[in-house]
Amino acid sequence: MKIERLFIKAFGGLENLQLEFFPEMQIVYGINEIEKTIIKTFIKTMFYGFRGMDHSLETNPRKKYLPRDGRVMEGYIVFSHQGLSYRLEKQFADRKAQDRTNLSLKASGETIDLKNPDQPGQELFNISETEFLNTAFMENVFIDNENLQDLDRGNIGYLAEIEQKISDLKEDLKQSLKQDQVHGSFNQEIAGLEKDLIELQNRETSLRLQNEQHQKLKLADRFEKFKKLEKSLEHSEQNAAQGSTNVLRNKSISAKELTEIANQRQQTVQALSEFEIRENLLVQRMQEQEKFREQAKKKVSTIVEERSRLQYLKQKTAERNPKTFKKPGISYASFIPLVIAEIFFLIGGLVFRSNKPVISTILIVLAVLLPFLMVFVYYLLQRRYENQIRQYHERIRKHEIRTIKIENGLQKLEWEVNQVEDRLQQLKLDQEIAEEAVEIAEKEYEKQLTELKYLIRPFFKELPTDDQLDLAIQSLREQTVDSIHNQEEIKRIKQQMLDLQGDYSTAEFYQAYQEAQEWLIQQQAELRTFPEFSESHIFSQLEGIQESRIVMLEKLAELRSELSQLTKTQINTVELENELERLENILEKSENDYDSLILSLHMLEHSRASFETDIRSQLNQKAADYLSKMTGNQDKGLKIDHDYHIKLQSDSDFYEQAFNNVGLFDQINLAFRLALTELLQDSSGMIPLILDDPFSQLDQNRIGLSLKLLQSLSEEQNRQIILFTNQPSLLDLANQKTKIIKL
């Protein structure tokens, strides 16, 4: 069998992927790990379907490979087998029973019927799913003895299930007898509920009759109130027609006219207030003008005083001569007395040196200190001269500053006088404007007052004076309020009468009252003078009756439904006995099948022994040959022990694969699988070999030898080999005969 082409429309994370394969060895480069896993799973599921019934996403492959966008999993594979080309199409649903499988011949399109559509590979290749996976995808090598034990355990479970069904049928037979008793209790409970419903109906009729009595009595009460309101309406209309006999000329004044008078009165008051404000503002402007005049007079007098003072200071300054000071000095003639005095003191000191040493010392000291004393006196005179000069200049400076201050003050006073004069001019203009505003406000007040008198003139026999205007307007307001109150009272009474009438006209209301009286007289024998219960109590009782009726009807319907269901689901005792007999026969047959299974297990054990004697040595020899070709070492060999573990043999000792490197482990598995496939399958039915980066742990030399071995096997056995890889170095090591598919 050889795969020619596959197309994945939607499967896992792949969409619209198409791959074209060659019949010999080829390397598919550029697919990541996830895509390789999806492609291998797609090939397996196309031929043998999904495994697993778990509902979780992790362990159920049908859910695991469902596209995320919710699309349907589907695709097809074109393959050749025994000289014919086939096209296998599959569409996967949520359950296996809903899957769609279509197998047809590629050339003619003729559809081929399949006995097992879920696993067409079983029918086409005559190999099981486990054998297909072990030969095509290079899974771990072992003989699954546990599968036989699982089959044994499954049969034991099936027998236990049949025994449980027999026990359940016996229990159902007991329950069927109890259902007859339940059927009778249901009928009794239904009869009780129907009786309670009749009692509720009678109770509801009595309460509704009392409620009708309430309505008739309320209608009569409303009619009595209606008659009283009619009398009140007549009395109010008479009071409104009488009116008041005061000084008013017109007895009726509308609210609109009263509002106009009030608004005009307000405008008149506002005009008067505006007139008074303008008049007060005029007085204020006149007072301010007088105040500024007084300030101007004061400032002018101050200017005159300051100018007189300044003139006096200037005159005194002009009359006074500048004062002169003589600077102290020392002349040469002044040193003559000093020299004479020193000579005198020195001679005296020398004369008294012998007999009066103290006086001699004093005279000598005086002679020495006399020049210094002369210098000190000169210094004091010089300091006195400088102080006099400084004080004189200071007095002159202060006099000048005082003069400047007076001049500045005069300038400031003159500026203030100018400001006051400007302010007086402005106040004069403001006074003129205020006088005009007062005149305008006075005219406006007189105008508004005239309009007010014009508005109230029609309502008085004599026009009131200005002092009586407020009293006259108040009288109008009181008259209007009384009239409005009478109108509102009449309107309220009419509205109450309409409310009492309800939907009745006056004639219909009288007619309904007469009918209510007649009904009360007719029902007098059956009813009390007044109802037994209040109206609210009757309403609550009626609501309770409605709720109780609904509950009873629901319970009655539920009981009838359960009774009907019980009647439908009740199983006849004869049917239960027949089913029990049938299951006992099935149990007996299954026990016979179980004995046959035990015999089959013994036969499998015999086949295993035959494998030990006939095939094991050939398998070891071929696997060792393949391993030698892949490693380039002739000294190593392979051996399978009695527990079906692959081991290396060196001399007479055995070493498990776990003690060797990972690359050698992969080569051993590949060698054993190639040998097993060659022994068990003929060349015409060879399954393609699909490898997934089997040389990732090998060095360059062993990779080249392994590729060479695979290429030779593909040519010798006419077997298709598909090698998926992401290693670019593998492309360089492949020979020219190896086909390369780059994605």
CA-closest candidate to residue 36, choices 56, 63, 17, 9 = 17
What is the identity of the amino acid at 300? Answer: V
pLDDT of residue 143: 36
12: left (phi over 0), alpha (psi -120 to 50) or beta: left
Identify whether the C-beta of residue 19 lies closer than 8 Å to the C-beta of residue 6. yes
pLDDT reading at 265 higher than 90: no
Parallel, antiparallel, or unpaired: how do β-strands 637-640 and 721-725 relate? unpaired
3-state secondary structure 334-351: HHHHHHHHHHHHHHHHHH
What gap in Å lies between CA 353 and CA 361, rounded to an integer? 8
**CA–CA distance, 69 with 305 (Å, rounded to integer):** 110
For residue 48, give the amino acid letter.
Y
Residue 420 tokens, joined: 């006051």
The torsion region of residue 325 among left (phi > 0), alpha (psi -120 to 50) and beta comes to beta
> In 10 A of CB 275, how many CB atoms?
20
Given a contact cutoff of 8 angstroms between Cβ atoms, the answer to whether 476 and 258 are in contact is yes
Give the C-alpha separation, 420 to 413, whole Å. 10
CB 473 within 8 A of CB 262: yes
Are 49 and 118 contacting, i.e. CB atoms less than 8 angstroms apart?
A: yes
Distance in angstroms between the alpha carbons of the first and the last residue of the chain: 24
Helical packing angle, 335-351 and 357-456, nearest 10°: 140
Euclidean distance between CA atoms 380 and 666, whole angstroms: 128
Residue written as tokens 């008479």?
Answer: 238
Domain ranges in the chain are 153-241+509-567, 256-459
Model pLDDT, residue 75: 94
The H or E element that residue 457 is part of is: none
Give 463 or 439, the one with higher predicted confidence: 439
pLDDT digits 0-9 by tens, 445-473: 788 777 777 777 666 655 555 555 666 66
Angle at 118 between CA 112 and CA 124, to 5 degrees: 50
pLDDT at 87: 94
Q: Directed axis angle between helix 145-242 and helix 535-569, to 10°?
A: 160
For every residue of 280-341, DSSP letters joined together read HHHHHHHHHHHHHHHHHHHHHHHHHHHHHHHHHHHHHHHHSPPP--PPP---GGGHHHHHHH
Tens of pLDDT, residues 181-202: 676 676 777 778 778 888 877 7
Q: Give the Cα separation of 491 and 495 in Å (integer).
A: 6
Are 74 and 9 in contact, with CB atoms under 8 Å apart? yes
Cα separation, 232 vs 552, whole angstroms: 54
- Does residue 101 contact residue 117 with C-beta atoms inside 8 Å? yes
What contacts 24+ positions apart, CB below 8 Å, involve 49-52? 49/96, 49/99, 49/118, 49/119, 50/92, 50/96
- Distance between CA 167 and CA 184 in Å, rounded? 27
Laid out side by side, the sheet with 739-742 consists of 689-692, 721-725, 25-29, 739-742
State the average pLDDT over residues 655-671: 64
Q: How many residues does the chain have?
A: 743
Whether 651 shows a pLDDT value over 50: the answer reads no
- Average of pLDDT values for 578-591? 69
> Which are the contacts of 73, defined by CB distance < 8 A and separation ≥ 6?
10, 11, 65, 66, 67, 91, 92
Beta carbons within 10 angstroms of residue 121's beta carbon:
24
Q: What is the pLDDT of residues 375-418, one digit of tens each?
A: 788 788 888 888 887 887 787 777 778 777 777 777 777 787 78
Per the CB < 8 A criterion, the answer to whether 587 and 166 are in contact is yes
CB contact at 8 A, 699 and 668: no
Residue reference for tokens 């007062």: 438
Question: If pLDDT is split at 50, 70 and 90, which confidence band does 74 have?
Answer: very high
CA distances from 592 to 152, 159, 515, 586 (A): 13, 11, 95, 10
Could you tell me which residues come within 8 angstroms of residue 556 by beta carbon, excluding any fewer than 6 positions away? 190, 193, 194, 197
Residue that has been written with the tokens 């004393």 in this structure:
373
Residue 38: which of 68, 1, 83 has the closest Cα? 68
User: DSSP 3-state helix, strand, coil percentages of the chain (rounded to 5)?
Assistant: 70, 10, 20
Given a cut of 80, is residue 516 above it in pLDDT?
no
To the nearest whole number, what is the mean pLDDT of the chain? 74
pLDDT tens-digit map of 198-238:
887 777 777 777 777 677 777 777 777 777 777 777 776 66
Task: Name which of 182-186, 275-279, 649-653, 709-713 the model is least confident about.
Answer: 649-653
The pLDDT of residue 650? 53
Task: Grade residue 528 by pLDDT with cuts at 50, 70 and 90.
Answer: low
Residue 663 pLDDT > 90: no
Least confident of 47-51, 443-447, 597-601: 597-601
Q: What pLDDT, on a 0 to 100 scale, did the predictor assign at position 54? A: 45
DSSP string covering 198-236: HHHHHHHHHHHHHHHHHHHHHHHHHHHHHHHHHHHHHHH
For the beta sheet containing 111-112, the strands, ordered from the edge strand earlier in sequence to the opposite edge, are 14-20, 2-11, 73-81, 84-92, 100-105, 111-112
Please write the tens of the pLDDT for every residue from 130-189: 778 777 776 444 334 444 444 455 555 656 666 677 677 667 666 765 665 676 676 777
In this structure, are residues 403 and 310 in contact, taking their beta carbons and an 8 Å threshold? yes
Measured between alpha carbons, how far is 344 from 735 in angstroms, rounded to an integer?
A: 148
Q: For the chain, how big is the Rg over CA atoms in Å? A: 69
